[in-house]
Amino acid sequence: MADATPFPVEVSFHNMPRSEALEADVRRHAAKLARFRERIVGCRVVVEAPHRHHRKGKLYSVRIDISVPGEDIVVTHQGPRNHAHEDPYVAVRDAFDAALRQLEDRARIDRGEVKTHEVPLHGTIRRMLPDYGFIATADGREIYFHRNSVVGGGFDALEPGQAVRLSIVHGESASGPQATTVQPVGKHHLID
Phi, psi values for residue 148, rounded to 5°:
-70, -10
From the CA atom positions of the chain, what is the Rg in Å?
A: 28
Report which of 106, 99, 8, 91 is spatially closest to residue 57, judged by C-alpha positions: 91
The residues spanned by each domain of the chain are: 9-111, 121-184
pLDDT for position 41: 87
pLDDT for position 190: 45
Helix extents (H) in 51-142: 88-111
Residue ranges of the chain whose pLDDT lies below 50: 1-2, 79-80, 189-192
Instruction: Give yes or no for a contact between 95 and 64, defined as CB atoms under 8 angstroms apart.
Output: yes
Reply yes or no on domain 121-184 having CATH 3.40.50.300.
no
pLDDT for position 24: 96
Distance of alpha carbon 47 from alpha carbon 89, whole angstroms: 10
Reply yes or no on domain 9-111 having CATH 3.40.190.10.
no
